[in-house]
Amino acid sequence: MSKAILLLEDETHHAARFKALLRGAGLDCELVIARGAREALALFRTGRRFGSRDLPAMVLVPAGLDAVALVEKLRARKRTGKVPVFVLSPSVDAPRRLQ
């Protein structure tokens, strides 16, 4: 695995489901889970490796988990300013649209 995705998720079952979706899609990447913005920022500060890289390929943040604050902090730092961040928003009618 050379790439990693950082997912902010405080619900274990949601993280497991997302991991299964990645595997089912055939994506060969490490999924790193942070339980909130504070934990995610700590991963960057400690120099944690994301796959074989210094930074994750992308960061996925649910809209309710301090998304704005995290994006602002990542953008304010030279090292993390260009990491793609996607804010995930639930859709009430998503199951109906997927049928």
Using pLDDT thresholds of 50, 70 and 90, give the confidence band for residue 7.
Answer: very high
Q: Does domain 4-98 have CATH number 3.30.365.10?
A: no
Using pLDDT thresholds of 50, 70 and 90, give the confidence band for residue 98.
Answer: very low
Pairing of the two strands 30-34 and 4-8:
parallel
Using pLDDT thresholds of 50, 70 and 90, give the confidence band for residue 36.
Answer: confident
* Cα 14 off chain centre by: 12
Mean pLDDT, range 56-77, rounded to an integer? 86
Q: Which of 31, 4, 5, 11 is nearest to 19 (CA)?
A: 31
End-to-end alpha carbon distance in the chain: 33
Q: What is the pTM of this model?
A: 0.82
